[in-house]
Amino acid sequence: MSTGAHADASATVIICRKVLPGREREYEKWQYRVNSAAADYPGHLGAEVSPPTALQPDWVVVYRFDSIAHLQAWMNGATRQRLLDVGEKYFDGPATQQVISGGSQPTDPLVTVVVTHRVPPDQVGDFLAWQRRLSHAESKFEGYRGSEVFRPVEGLQEDWTTLYRYDNAEHLDAWLTSAKRQEMLAEGRKFNDFKLRTIDNSFGSWFAFAENGREAPPPSETKTAVAVWVGLYPTVVLLTLALHPLGMPLWIGLLVGNLLSSFIMSFLTMPHYVNPLLRRWLRPAVNEPPARTNLLGVGTVVAVMLFWVIVFYLVTTRFWSLP
């Protein structure tokens, strides 16, 4: 277990909010504006947005900066305050927020639990000793991937924050509901005034771009849809041509074709064709003008799709005719 004393001086804030039903699309547009504004601040390293899942009932936004000072400048800055005033109408209740300084970012998609404790100064030693025993106990459970403890951050957060990670929700639930955990909570009952939040970090691999060991902000829904189209068209046509000689009935052919296309898209087309091809458009650099990246992206999409149209036109009309 780590206690937050890391060579990495970066700072991360995890913000959770419940969005009003029916306002999700408006919220996403607003959140994109907020993330774009954050990217203009010094020290910005990245942002991640996760919609509600079975594990997390709220929307989760994670910002990462290279220092507490830069994170504090963003969190307390006038730009963010103005945006919060505009976006307040999208939310059902106030946000919860945890700030951590330093720490490691997992390279694999893990389920993360964030626990905050309000610890009196004269009980810090007892709290850290209990946390070490707690970490030792949970490390015996299957799927455990590590835990970290972070001290309060002056000017941003008074609570102690603990992160612990498991490889999937089932293994996490086994720990959360275990008799051993209840025993450890009873042992540390004076620290039982805590808040626990589970965050599903399995954001998917179709658009996972590693940038210096961190996740870049996700593409917009429009870019995502276009990128999938770029990969889906050649995949479906090539599969259709490959399966046609088998003479399968339409309903069987579509069943098999859809299954194969799902695997091919996930493991071949998206990570090895679409993501590298459209990388600069899907995940533009912070200092690159949006107009330029959009022009480059749209031009690339048009050129690539025109290429496939010509190829498949020639293949299916000049060299091979499908009935």
Amino acid found at 315: V
The pTM for the full model equals: 0.47
DSSP secondary structure, 242-263, as one string:
HHGGG---HHHHHHHHHHHHHH
Whether residue 205 contacts residue 269, with contact meaning beta carbons closer than 8 Å, is answered with: no
Whether residue 73 contacts residue 87, with contact meaning beta carbons closer than 8 Å, is answered with: no
Tell me the residue ranges of DSSP E strands in the chain.
11-17, 44-50, 59-65, 96-101, 111-117, 144-150, 160-166, 194-200, 210-211, 214-215
pLDDT single digits (tens) 264-306? 988 888 888 888 898 888 877 656 677 888 899 999 999 999 9
CA distance 231 to 308: 11
Tell me what pLDDT residue 202 has. Answer: 40
The DSSP element (H or E) to which 132 belongs, if any, is helix 124-138
Three-state secondary structure of 52-65: CCCCCCCEEEEEEE
CATH 3.30.70.100 residue ranges for the chain? 11-200
pLDDT single digits (tens) 43-98? 888 888 888 877 777 888 888 888 888 888 888 888 888 998 898 899 887 777 77
Which of 104, 185, 184 lies closest to 145 in space, CA to CA?
A: 104
The stretch 251-260 carries a mean pLDDT of 87
3-class DSSP state of 195: strand
Angle subtended at Cα 234 by Cα 230 and Cα 235, rounded to the nearest 5 degrees: 100
Whether residue 273 contacts residue 231, with contact meaning beta carbons closer than 8 Å, is answered with: yes
pLDDT single digits (tens) 86-136? 988 998 877 777 777 655 554 445 677 778 888 888 888 888 888 888 888
* Topology at the third CATH level for domain 11-200: Alpha-Beta Plaits (3.30.70)
The stretch 216-231 carries a mean pLDDT of 78
CA distance 219 to 35: 11
Dihedral sign from CA coordinates of 285, 90, 68, 76: positive
Amino acid found at 39: A
pLDDT band at residue 321 under the 50/70/90 scheme: low
CB count in 10 Å sphere of residue 196: 10
CA distance 47 to 41: 12
pLDDT above 70 covers a percentage of the chain that reads: 83
- Bridge partners for 11 per DSSP: 65, 101
DSSP percent split of the chain into helix, strand, coil, nearest 5 = 50, 20, 30
Amino acid found at 298: V
